Amino acid sequence: MLRLQPAWPLVFVLSSTACGARSDPASQPADLVVYGRVWTGDSAQPWAGAVAVRGKTIAAVGDSAELAGLVSSGTRIISNGKAMVVPGFMDGHTHFLRGGFQLTNVDLRDAATPAEFVARIKAFAAKLRPGEWILGGTWDHENWPGTPLPDRSWIDSVTPDNPVFVDRLDGHMALANTAALRAGKVTRATKEIPGGTIVRRPGGEPTGVLKDEAQNPVLAVIPVPSPGQSDAALKGAMRWAASRGVTGVADVSVPWYEVAALKRAHKAGTLTTRVAVYVPLGDWRSMADTVRAYGVGDERLRVAGVKGYVDGSLGSTTALFYQPYDDSPETSGLFVTPEDSLRAWIGGADSAGLQVVVHAIGERANGVLLDIFDSVSKAHGARDRRFRVEHAQHLRRGDITRLATSGVIASMQPYHAIDDGRWAQKRIGPERIKTTYAFRSLLDGGGHLAFGSDWTVAPLDPLLGIYAAVTRRTLDDKHPRGWVPEEKITVEEALRAYTAGNAYGMHAEQTRGKLAPGFLADLVALDQDLTAIPPEAIERASVRMTMVGGRIVFEKTGS
């Protein structure tokens, strides 16, 4: 949720060989062969014993005898034993550069008490120059006894020289200290901001907690990172992604200066993570102009479309429901974007041929969004638009069916289920919980399921996501058999949602998402066979090697 800059022109240099072209004749040796228990993701040949790579693409998949003719003295051999080799994981929902910045920001995610929250901010502030902002954080008040929201009075005395604006982990509310409120001109006299909430003390004085659109006055005065800072954050994010087996991401709500950083890396040949970009929905005209002028990019950097918001989050009590919250009966959530603006912007973006993906968490938010998608589709006629609902967390049963049969992609984050499951029932009660994170129901209805993390809201780690989808064991381990266990899915279904499901969601299914001849050589070697170990052990699995386009971008030392 960073301040936007004017659109930067995007120039892409395409390789002379089209991605996805068939490989060279089988008689030529492979550059590399990986042996292991290969899950291909290809229904025609789901399992194999080896995969051969030539250049940027996969030359062959089969058993060791079938691939023997491709091995020469110059072929590198990687043996993964009986552990899995899988297509490169893709993450369908990240805030990618923001994640890179968070790697060096103050870390509040596991602060277990308000005192620890304050102590970490104090220690971080001591390392800064006066005037430097303290950002990031990703705190979670649900970890604290009594779950109080933080207050600027907690941190003002330990940050006298530095403005502070630290997010709750969901990004839908943040705590500003007095210096940051002053910079954003947020005072007792500030009127409520549509689509957001200024949390106040009984006398009307802001506590420092700002929800959703109420964050904008402070966000508007946070200095935009320099190109050097953005480039460094991108490098950090790519290294982290590679270490987790992530070969491609959808980067959503992207400000234009981040697009510029991605473009610089692409031009320099240092973009080791494939990125599909989605700028804010309200900026659809600039994106449409950019696509018209420069095209949609290539397999490294795709200018894919726009991302909007219907509502907020469950943790911030701003997700939009038909009925009030059980623990906050004064509210049923809010529209972050007015409904008339949503309709106009989605319609405009769709008419311009852009892919539209929209955040919707509460039942009413999802119902409204599906109505809008349906009306826009009917008005503009059939085309390969691939609308996506980002999160789709809480659905009425009729909307589960409608989402599955409409062709709209459910872009979901399974780690959220085992995180929210610790406390979600106190928010919305036992009945609404029954259709929460409905992975099984969506797949059984024939729906498109794409998995991601929402990094930095959750860890950028597909193995943790697979563990969450398969076990649904909450982080507090109070649901050992699974929270809403009827919505569990299998390991292979979760793998597919992190590979082929995301490839489809990013218009990349012709070249990515499975291990097959002619597909891009994006693959991951794991240290376990996820189908052969107890589901609860999946979270302890790790990545041995990550390859993107035939290039190894991560290799565990000693593996």
Tell me the domains of the chain and their CATH numbers.
Answer: 31-88+513-559 (2.30.40.10), 97-219 (3.10.310.70), 310-509 (3.20.20.140)
451 compared with 21, residue with greater pLDDT: 451
pTM above 0.85, yes or no: yes
User: Could you tell me the two tokens for 366?
Assistant: 């999802």
CB 261 within 8 A of CB 124: no
Residue 27 — pLDDT band, cuts 50, 70, 90?
low
CA Rg value for the chain? 23
**pLDDT digits 0-9 by tens, 468-500:** 999 999 999 999 999 999 999 999 999 999 999
**pLDDT digits 0-9 by tens, 287-309:** 999 999 999 999 999 988 999 99
Average pLDDT over residues 522-526: 98
CB 225 within 8 A of CB 257: yes
pLDDT, residue 557, reads: 83
Helix pair 363-380, 397-406: axis angle to 10 deg: 30
pLDDT for residue 189 is more than 70 = yes
Average pLDDT over residues 224-233: 96
User: Could you tell me the two tokens for 307?
Assistant: 């991302």
Task: Compute CA 389 distance to the chain's CA centroid, rounded to the nearest angstrom.
Answer: 13
Query: Cα(112)–Cα(9) distance, rounded to whole angstroms?
Result: 45
pLDDT, residue 502, reads: 98
pLDDT, residue 2, reads: 35
Residue 26 — pLDDT band, cuts 50, 70, 90?
low
Q: Reduced to 3 states, what is the DSSP secondary structure of residue 251?
A: strand
Contacts of 477 (CB under 8 A, 6+ apart): none
**pLDDT digits 0-9 by tens, 29-58:** 999 999 999 999 999 999 999 999 999 999
pLDDT for residue 449 is more than 60 = yes
**pLDDT digits 0-9 by tens, 145-162:** 999 999 999 999 999 999
pLDDT, residue 13, reads: 32
The conformation of residue 395, written as its DSSP 8-state character, comes to -
pLDDT for residue 559 is more than 90 = no
User: Could you tell me the two tokens for 232?
Assistant: 């460094």
Neighbours of 534 (CB within 10 A): 7
Neighbours of 556 (CB within 10 A): 13
pLDDT, residue 12, reads: 33
Q: Could you tell me what percent of the chain has a pLDDT over 70?
A: 95
**pLDDT digits 0-9 by tens, 316-357:** 999 999 999 999 999 999 999 999 999 999 999 999 999 999
Q: Mean pLDDT over all residues of the chain?
A: 93
pLDDT, residue 112, reads: 95
Q: Which string of DSSP letters, residue by residue, matches 351-383?
A: HTT-EEEEEE-SHHHHHHHHHHHHHHHHHH---
pLDDT, residue 4, reads: 36
pLDDT for residue 15 is more than 50 = no
Query: Cα(517)–Cα(51) distance, rounded to whole angstroms?
Result: 9
